[in-house]
Amino acid sequence: MTPTETDSIDLRALRLDDALALLAHAGKGGEPQAGESALGYLQKVIDGLCELSLRDPLTGLANRRQFHAVIERSLDSVARAGETMLLLMLDIDHFKSINDTHGHAAGDQVLRAIGATLARCVRPMDTVARYGGEEFAVILPSCRPAFGIAVAERIRQTIAGLSIAVAPRLNVSVTVSIGGAYAPEWVRSTPELWIDRADQNLYRAKTTGRNRAVIETPAQVSVSAEERGLLFSQLALDAAMVNEAGVAAAARDAGGHLSDTPHP
Amino acid sequence: MNDASSSQQPAAVPPHGKVLAVTSGKGGVGKTFVSANLAAALASRGHRVLVLDADLGLANLDVVLNLYPKITLHDVFTGKATLDEAILAAPGGFSVLLAGSGMVEYSRLTPDVRSEFLRVVTELVPRYDVVLLDTGAGISDVVLFAVSLASEVVMVATPEPTSLTDAYATIKVLVGQQQRQTLRIIVNQAVRPGAGEAITRQLQTVLDRFVATDPARAVRLVHLGDIPLDPQVRQAIMRRQLLLQAAPSSPAAVALAAIAAGLDASVIASVG
């Protein structure tokens, strides 16, 4: 696009009021900066709207739409790479009684505090989402089976230790129940099946007394670097044998010996 | 107890017939192709053979055989049809039990799926000489459960490093969880004669060193044979025909027939 075309955008001709109001409400947006091109400004507005459409307004976490986009991408990489990926579903215990006792504003404060705590408890690469009502979800890529329960326990204990200010001179404490499931490796699966498995463990956590984490561990299988090394060194030899004729010829041409031929 | 751990014990299958699980560590190595053509080869040797889509709808058995049944395992599981109504005659002279795409919801191993699965296999065994379970790839709980129902495990692998690593990982799980002591290997898409022998030796070496370290519980990998890389395989698959029917004298078909003959002599003949 040439500069002339860029400049031909007349911002006053566009109905941006609703979009700008949305952005302003989220603490973003504003008038074009001095010297900012109309195109640059529009791009910023669009980026801001995209960002907004993926966030939960109350907690600032990923919303359900973003969660589904991430979980679908994640399943793809699990099936292709055999990566171990954990999904945690988390539900605040007796949340209804907080709303009933202290009002919805207090409930909202609790949701915000839990959201912020969750985001602090996990790595930047993890996705924390508000799944609905008082239910949250966390997707943890590259989470080895041994670490799953440790992460879930850390989250559970941190939240249980919180004192959340919901009104002047009123703090409340809450607990959460957590259910987790690893994505089936090397297998085509669906987000629904994965979520369902995590949900079932959440249900187990709820029915066995709440304030606990239940994680379904995957069938243990790991191939150590040593094992891989032995397998691959043999493979490399085998590959050399495939090319035996060619390698021998090359070795002859180079005046060397076949046994000197390096293999990766 | 979770589903995976409860599938560790091999289930008791009446010893009237042979149940062979065809499995692989990695998908896309030709597991279903091997199952279908092996079934045809065994059928042509005079056996009553049935192939069961034990990947519960994720296998491509229907596509490989060009069959699109109205009644499937799904209907048997849900009680809408009897086993006999769901069993089809496949082109190669054997029977098939297809899962149908509706089974995707069963790709989780619930207690219901376990008991239905077990009931179906138990009912099938006395009626056939050989039941081939075309399982999924990898080590999901459904795969492990299906394999646990089999008296013999046939691993399909290609010579690629990823396929071999995954095959090794799967063998490791089957040895650890199901106490398997004999596993059979077919190397598909072999590029040169003897490739499978070498690969089996490699896998055995790593297994002896890292997994089967107790000499009292040795694990034996048996190389059943190689299926050479053969352009006619692709042609048959594209035409949705069995290789044994489309190109019976192709190198891959000859290899499959030889593997069937070997299985016949070593495994099936031992049925009491």
- Between A103 and B100, where is the model more confident? A103
In a domain, A110, yes or no: yes
Give the nearest chain B residue to A242 (CA atoms): B192
Whole-number pLDDT of residue B2: 40
Hey, what amino acid is at A1?
A: M
Region A223-252: mean pLDDT is 61
B161 interfacial to chain A (CB closer than 8 Å)? yes
Cα B173 from chain centre: 16
In a domain, A258, yes or no: no
Between B109 and A23, the higher pLDDT residue: A23
Q: What is the pLDDT of residue B4?
A: 39
Residue keyed to tokens 């539900």: A91
- Residue A144: both structure tokens together: 């080895």
The chain-wide mean pLDDT, for chain A, equals: 82
User: In this structure, are A93 and A128 located in the same domain?
Assistant: yes
Q: What is the pLDDT of residue B12?
A: 45
Do A30 and A72 have their domain in common? Answer: no
Per cent of chain A over pLDDT 70 is 80
**Closest residue to B161, CB basis, from A216, A222, A232:** A232
Is B58 in contact with A227 (Cβ distance < 8 A)?
no
- Shared domain for A139 and A205, answered yes or no, is yes
Residue B152: predicted pLDDT = 92
Residue A82 counted as domain residue = yes
CB contact under 8 A, A187 and B140: yes
Q: What is the predicted pLDDT for the residue at A258?
A: 32
Q: Are residues A97 and A33 in the same domain?
A: no
How do A170-172 and A164-167 pair as beta strands? antiparallel
Whole-number pLDDT of residue B120: 92
The pLDDT tens digits along chain B (272 residues) read 343 333 333 444 444 468 999 999 888 899 999 999 999 999 999 999 999 988 775 657 888 888 888 888 888 988 899 999 999 999 999 999 998 765 655 556 666 777 888 889 989 999 999 999 998 777 777 888 888 889 899 999 999 888 898 899 999 888 877 788 899 999 999 998 888 999 999 999 999 999 888 888 899 999 999 999 999 999 999 999 999 999 999 999 999 999 999 999 888 876 54
**Domain harbouring A195, CATH code:** 3.30.70.270
Q: Does B176 touch chain A (CB under 8 A)?
A: yes
> For residue A5, what pLDDT is reported?
52
Domain co-membership, A38 together with A13 = yes
Q: Are residues A83 and A123 in the same domain?
A: yes
Domain span at residue A152? 64-215
Structural domain includes residue A257: no
Angle between helical axes of B31-44 and B251-266 (0-180°, round to 10)? 70
pLDDT average, residue stretch A25-35 = 81
d(CA B198, CA A212): 50
Q: What is the C-alpha radius of gyration for chain A, rounded to an integer number of angstroms?
A: 27
**Domain match, A165 and A113 both:** yes
Q: Is A116 found in the same domain as A247?
A: no
Q: Residues A31, A134, A135, A185: which is the catalytic one?
A: A134
Same domain as A195, residue A125: yes
Considering only the beta carbons, identify the residue of B144, B198, B205 that sits closest to A219: B144
CB-based contact A184 B166, cutoff 8 Å: no
Q: Could you say which of A188, A217, A219 has the minimum Cβ distance to residue B173? A: A219
User: In Å, how far is A81's CA from the nearest CA of chain B?
Assistant: 10
CB B85 within 8 A of CB B95: no
Q: What tens digit of pLDDT does each residue of A181-205 get?
A: 988 665 556 788 889 889 999 999 9
A134 is catalytic: yes
pLDDT of residue A222: 72
Chain B contact present for A241, CB below 8 A: yes
> Do A36 and A156 belong together in one domain?
no
Q: Structure tokens of A129?
A: 């989402």
**Domains of chain A: total:** 3
How does pLDDT run across A110-160, given as a tens digit for each residue? 999 999 999 999 999 999 999 999 999 999 998 888 889 999 999 999 999
In a domain, A161, yes or no: yes
pLDDT at B107: 57
The answer as to whether A259 is a domain residue is no
Residue A247 confidence (pLDDT) above 60: no
User: CA-CA distance, B116 to B113, in Å (whole number)?
Assistant: 5
| Shared domain check, A184 and A247 | no
**Residues facing B20 on adjacent strands:** B132, B152
In a domain, A159, yes or no: yes
Predicted local distance difference test score (pLDDT) of residue A189: 65
Last residue of a domain, one of A53, A79, A94: A53
pLDDT tens digits, A43-71: 889 998 988 899 999 999 999 999 999 99
Whether the per-residue pLDDT at A77 is higher than 80: the answer is: no
- Give A220's contacts in chain B (Cβ within 8 Å): 173, 176
Question: Are A196 and A101 part of one and the same domain?
Answer: yes
Question: For residue A96, how far is the Cα from the chain centroid?
Answer: 27
